[in-house]
Structure 1
Amino acid sequence: MNGKKVAFYTLGCKLNFSETSTIARSFKDEGFARVDFSEEADIYVINTCSVTDNADKRFKTIVKQAQKVNENAFVIGVGCYAQLKPEELAAVDGVDLVLGATEKFKITDYLNDLSKNDFGEIHSCEIQEADFYVGSYSFGDRTRAFLKVQDGCDYKCTYCTIPLARGISRSDKLENVLNNAAEISAKGIKEIVLTGVNIGDYGKGEFGNKKHQHTFLDLVKSLDEVEGIERLRISSIEPNLLKNETIDFVAESNSFVPHFHIPLQSGSNDILKAMRRRYMRELYVNRVEQIKAVMPDACIGVDVIVGFPGETDEHFLETYNFLNELDISYLHVFTYSERDNTPAAEMDQVVPVKVRKKRSKMLRGLSAKKRRAFYESQIGNKASVLFEGENKKGYIHGFTENYVKVKAPWNPALVNTLHEVELKEIDEDGLVRFDFVHKPQAVAV
């Protein structure tokens, strides 16, 4: 196998990025050279997502991209869509191998023969068998690393296929997470983003049972003591699992940044009940108020779904007004799409697609307004910026600890460095310009 090249494409969430990195390292251990997806490779691995219809459709497009570069390449589909609908993936022209939830981490075991198949070969477990934990983290792709701490979900939200695609909630051992964090830090990476399917449920099933060995707060406190990590960021966490003790700890911590991403999904209690979410909107308000009380400059991102079955105009306006009045910073808006084998797909009062799109557009407009207002509230503040590694049309971008996106003329010496800045003004593209508090020697005046 030595001398062969492999390329990867990741759809979906931060968790998928961390797992792609782990899969890529297993190829490296077997002597493969990793190349960019746009380059010629012997094997193309596509890590799929199934959260939206769009991700399903994109898979076919990405397979075609790989075939254009090398029509004889061996194409492999892994990830959530591969677990949910392996036959559908295997039937896509050009796909040779499809691996489910547990098999993807043993991917190199399936590469005895790289000759093309007429129909993709499937290795996919029953999802009940996905009861063991495989740790992973990403590095090398970005200035920040995604560290997986938990997988799977025991919640039964009526619209969601994730439990079907990833299995039960289970976590990494605390010592493994801390070792991985120390490894990442030793590679010179300045920021770690904690990721998982339901990270607030951390500690469950650590040793194959459902009892919590540790809590999410234990995890946060332990990570805060790891030497050499400049920044720790919590990715999406359920509002009912984000406890006030965790919020208070983050406010006083060494490394955790004042940025939370908290799924809401709807501002209507009627719709939250139909979705089988585990909280009402009143609890969500409480969490936002608690964060802002102890971290007034905190950035709060919100997931919201529009067009869920039974969502009337009144329900939608309830959500819109709720979000408009809430002290949040931006939205991730999802247009509801029917997923096979979910209770929501069988529900009556289906919202027309045209109406879903209109509502989605309204909330995206609200998100832009919220982000602008948040950025404006930060002008004049001093902040620490971690600079990214990409030259974007002559500019380098970076993020403050509270997730304000800044820009400056491109300078490679700034990549993966932290600098204190003063935020000055919002540019026409919506990003923030700044002055260095202490101008680095590498930066020309």
Structure 2
Amino acid sequence: MKKVIHVGVLGLGTVGSGVIHILQERREKIFLDTGYEIRVKTVAVRDLEKERDVSIDGIVLTNNLDDITDDPDIDIIVEVMGGIKHAKQSIIKAFYNKKHVVTANKDLLASYSTELLQLAHENACDLYYEASVAGGVPILRGLIDGLASDHIRKIIGIINGTTNYILTKMSQNGWSYDQALKEAQNLGFAEADSSADVDGLDAARKLAILANLGFSMNISLDDIHVRGIRHVDKTDLKVAKKLGLTMKLVGKAEMSNSVISLSVAPTLLPNHHPLSSVNNEYNAVYVHGQAVGEVMFYGPGAGKLPTASAVVSDVISIVKNMNLDTNGYSLLKEPQSYILKQDQEIFSKYFIRILLKDERGILKKITECFMNQSISLKEIIELPLDDELVEIVIVTHRTSRYQFERTLRLLEDVAGTIKSYYCIEVEKENA
């Protein structure tokens, strides 16, 4: 008779139904890999009467989360319902009841991963969350297992498929931001309320999770400098293309001697940069280790089956740990202390597009603002629009964030002539 591991699933949306589908379809392969049949016993849903797009024969549906967290027959809980309050309560209760947990909840983990990992350890339980960062891309497994002996210095990548799809269509098809966003929503790449994606918060949460694991630190979301793509205009991408640059929303974490910098921002990359060719909903993350050098992880950052595949892989890892009696130790590390880099220590090139009144001597006034902060300019392009307005595009040489932001304040004071401006960091030649 086959040995059985019972699973409870919290949530039966896109990812939850994908998890059930994969566990059913790959049952025999999973048994060969683990020596167990992994069987979904109970699923918690909001609406018991709703039609499902996956077979639930033999599965109990409930609208009471406690039916799963308190069930002594359930060994592993998969949390894919989202949100923070109820998800956290259920996970904590699961640990106290000696149940292992797999979650895809980036919102929860970005703020509470250290606390939950400690609680899991105290109860000899596992907490796995591969699907919380890049869908089906095994980036966390790569950090935990593949690069376990290395010293991670830098993590940089595209970790939000929604914004990458929007920027790809704006750049390649000449679409407006609103047009690209609407298409992303129609295809299911963006939610109806896409604020967390387009304002950079989703990517910031994922970067916090990556940096916490990669650097062994308890990083706060408040430590991350965040800017989104809401104000990007297709003209920005058009001009950037003429300069040999491609725009992406890039998450970046760097560490040197426990001094770190963390940012999520629209970034212009040279066209030969490895991240420039990552398009549509795909994600890519580069990890720089002291020993290994540069390693890239690439693949679909979202979607029903890619994300569910990552969840099921975590379930399998937990079962293998159960066979080895090593549950509760896999991800827990003693957090290191760290210091945040100050703006004076963070350097980049910058792209800025300025719309202003076409007045005599205005270009001289603009350049003097940069000279006042000792910022040298790499390129200046003047684009007359009509008899009254002119657009100036400037790319600086490397300068500190502190100097550049002081320059922006000076630009705002130039004779009241500036109508609008938008600035974007320019990443260096390689990843």
Instruction: Determine if the TM-score, normalized by the shorter chain, exceeds 0.5.
Output: no
- Considering only CA atoms, is the larger Rg found in Structure 1 or Structure 2? 2
TM-score of the aligned structures, taking structure 1 as reference length: 0.28
Structure whose residues are more often strand by fraction: 2
TM-score of the aligned structures, taking structure 2 as reference length: 0.28
